[in-house]
């Protein structure tokens, strides 16, 4: 996967909205590259051929291809010449770029917080799953499912890009395998209305068909049953990152997809009347570069997107609330995060507190931020070699749960994909490492919150 990512980034560097070709006219400048260097956010709306931007001071604006008008805050103005597309890159008159950069005065409201320097601690895993059957870069993303009758019988759903979805018990033993294609990222939600009752569902991006797969989860056994209706076929080049979102504001459920070229699509998902799941596209936009990590906060109505080589972005998860980010949580500048930023997950704490956790793949470690407020950085940790398992490296997907899962994980669970699975000195196929949340919480100084009763079926709408 790492080689593929590097290739995708290199190929995309000369494409949509990223950098200027060497022969561009001197009086034009690349909009995205110029503004990103100045700390702004730039997003592409393909439906209107518009580049929208948000400056450091919070001012928003936009330009549209083949038009000489621009919007900046509540005002409109005239460009010296029309915005144009050259080799897939949006170019605008250079004096407009100079104006925007000079206008970036006042407080920096785009960055969520002035983040601290990295603090690092070390923990070890308790359990590892059986290795996936495919070699090389195959294991990718985990999702924890809570058994409603017996939490100790909860399962771990995981993707195998070599050919499907795997289901493990909490001892790491494989229970089921589903050969549905090159599945990349997976997520779970509870009490989805289907066929006149509420069911737990899992969904995942499938790179074999550039689509989303939906499954009902058997509440007794954890087995999966395909519930695809008219399958969601993405318009993006290749589906990649994924999250489900249950809006506690409206009650609606959504599938969120990120693409390998930074595309984002949001689909409302619903019962098609025959006990199957259909999807309706309700929002789309495009980041500048490759993006995969994606997680939604159902209680606050936010979503976090990891643009791998750039930043973690915080967005409103409601589809009618625009295409520009609310804030930048942190940047891949080598201080706390190093490219690639990969998996994202949320630890739901008491009274709306908790943690946002990111897989810092470039440094084989994990960064922890506050879930509430401005997402202040707290600490980072590595999963080192221990007496039970080896450590993790170059992690893709992660998941966390603030709910007790019986005697094995009474204080909650953290799961991470391991790129290089070592057993008795031999490199095996990739797998997933499991460790109790208490290990992480007690290693960090000051200690993190530990809660064991945040039932994912009983989340509460929070005021921002």
Which domains are seen in the chain, by residue range? Answer: 2-102 (3.30.457.10), 120-443 (2.120.10.30)
Instruction: Supply the pLDDT for residue 349.
Output: 98
Gap between the Cα atoms of 134 and 143, Å rounded = 19
Average pLDDT over residues 211-215: 98
263-271 and 277-286 as β-strands: parallel, antiparallel, unpaired? antiparallel
Residue 417 reports pLDDT greater than 90: yes
Instruction: Supply the pLDDT for residue 6.
Output: 46
Q: Which residue has the tokens 């995942």?
A: 204
Concatenated DSSP letters of 330-358: EE-SSSS--SPEEEEEEEE-GGG-EEEEE
Residue 19 reports pLDDT greater than 70: no
Instruction: Supply the pLDDT for residue 426.
Output: 83
Q: How far is CA 380 from CA 292, 356, 396, in A?
A: 20, 11, 16
Gap between the Cα atoms of 52 and 37, Å rounded = 16
Instruction: Supply the pLDDT for residue 65.
Output: 97
| Closest by CA position to 103, among listed 67, 62, 69, 60 | 60
Gap between the Cα atoms of 196 and 248, Å rounded = 20
pLDDT for 235-283, tens place per residue?
999 999 999 999 999 999 999 999 999 999 999 999 999 999 999 999 9
Average pLDDT over residues 418-442: 91
Compute the residue count for the chain.
464
Q: How far is CA 58 from CA 102, 139, 239, 288, in A?
A: 14, 39, 31, 19
Phi then psi for residue 197, to 5 deg, are -145, 175
Instruction: Supply the pLDDT for residue 425.
Output: 77
Residue 20 reports pLDDT greater than 80: no
Residue 109 reports pLDDT greater than 50: yes
Q: What percent of the chain has pLDDT over 70?
A: 94
Work out whether the CA dihedral 417, 326, 462, 116 comes out positive or negative: positive
Whether 361 contacts 6, CB under 8 Å: no
Question: 388 pLDDT band (50/70/90 cuts)?
Answer: confident
Phi-psi label, residue 121: left if phi above 0, alpha if psi -120 to 50, beta otherwise: beta
Average pLDDT over residues 44-64: 96
Question: 26 pLDDT band (50/70/90 cuts)?
Answer: low
Instruction: Supply the pLDDT for residue 25.
Output: 52
Q: What percent of the chain has pLDDT over 90?
A: 86
Question: 30 pLDDT band (50/70/90 cuts)?
Answer: very high
Instruction: Supply the pLDDT for residue 7.
Output: 44
Residue 71 reports pLDDT greater than 80: yes
Average pLDDT over residues 157-184: 94
Instruction: Supply the pLDDT for residue 315.
Output: 98
Question: 8 pLDDT band (50/70/90 cuts)?
Answer: very low
Dihedral angle at the C-alpha atoms of 248, 250, 255, 260, nearest 10 degrees?
-90
Residue 21 reports pLDDT greater than 60: no
pLDDT for 279-336, tens place per residue?
999 999 999 999 999 999 999 999 999 999 999 999 999 999 999 999 999 999 999 9
How confident is the prediction for the chain on average, in pLDDT? 93
- CA-atom Rg of the chain in angstroms: 22
pLDDT for 326-370, tens place per residue?
999 999 999 999 999 999 999 999 999 999 999 999 999 999 999
């Amino acid at each position: 996967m790492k080689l593929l990512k590097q290739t995708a980034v290199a190929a995309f560097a000369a494409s949509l909205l990223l950098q200027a070709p060497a022969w561009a006219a001197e009086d034009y400048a690349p909009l995205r590259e110029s503004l990103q260097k100045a700390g702004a956010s730039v997003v592409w709306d393909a439906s209107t051929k518009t580049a929208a931007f948000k400056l450091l001071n919070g001012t928003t604006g936009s330009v549209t291809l083949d038009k000489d008008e621009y919007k900046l805050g509540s005002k409109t103005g005239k460009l010296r010449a029309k915005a144009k597309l050259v080799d897939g890159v949006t170019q605008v008159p250079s004096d407009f770029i100079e104006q925007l950069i000079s206008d970036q005065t006042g407080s920096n409201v785009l960055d969520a917080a002035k983040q601290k320097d990295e603090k690092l601690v070390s923990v070890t895993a308790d359990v590892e799953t059986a290795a996936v059957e495919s070699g090389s870069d195959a294991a990718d993303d985990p999702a924890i499912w809570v058994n409603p009758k017996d939490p100790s019988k909860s399962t771990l759903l995981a993707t195998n890009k070599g050919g499907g979805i795997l289901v493990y018990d909490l001892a790491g033993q494989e229970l089921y395998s589903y050969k549905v294609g090159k599945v990349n990222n997976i997520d779970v939600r509870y009490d989805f209305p289907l066929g006149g009752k509420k069911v737990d569902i899992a969904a995942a991006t499938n790179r074999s068909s550039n689509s989303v797969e939906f499954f009902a989860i058997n509440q007794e056994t954890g087995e999966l049953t395909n519930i695809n209706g008219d399958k969601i076929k993405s318009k993006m080049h290749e589906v990649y990152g994924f999250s489900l979102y249950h809006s506690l504001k409206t009650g609606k459920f959504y599938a969120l997809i990120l693409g390998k070229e930074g595309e984002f699509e949001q689909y409302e998902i619903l019962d098609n009347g025959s006990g199957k799941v259909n999807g309706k596209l309700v929002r789309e936009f495009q980041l500048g570069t490759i993006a995969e990590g994606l997680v939604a906060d159902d209680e606050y109505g936010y979503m976090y997107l990891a643009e791998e080589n750039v930043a973690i972005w915080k967005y409103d998860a409601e589809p009618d609330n625009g295409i520009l980010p609310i804030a930048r949580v942190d940047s891949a500048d080598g201080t706390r995060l190093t490219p690639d930023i990969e998996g994202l997950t949320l630890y739901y704490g008491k009274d709306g507190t908790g943690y946002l956790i990111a897989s810092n793949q470039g440094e084989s470690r994990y960064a922890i931020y506050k879930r509430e407020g401005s997402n202040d950085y707290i600490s980072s940790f590595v999963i080192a070699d221990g007496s039970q398992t080896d450590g993790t490296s170059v992690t893709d997907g992660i998941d966390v749960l603030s709910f007790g899962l019986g005697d094995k994980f009474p204080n909650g669970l953290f799961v991470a994909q391991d790129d290089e699975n070592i057993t008795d000195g031999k490199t095996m196929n990739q797998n997933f490492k499991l460790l109790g949340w208490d290990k992480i919480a007690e290693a960090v100084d000051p200690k993190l919150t530990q809660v064991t009763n945040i039932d994912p079926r009983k989340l509460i709408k929070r005021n921002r």
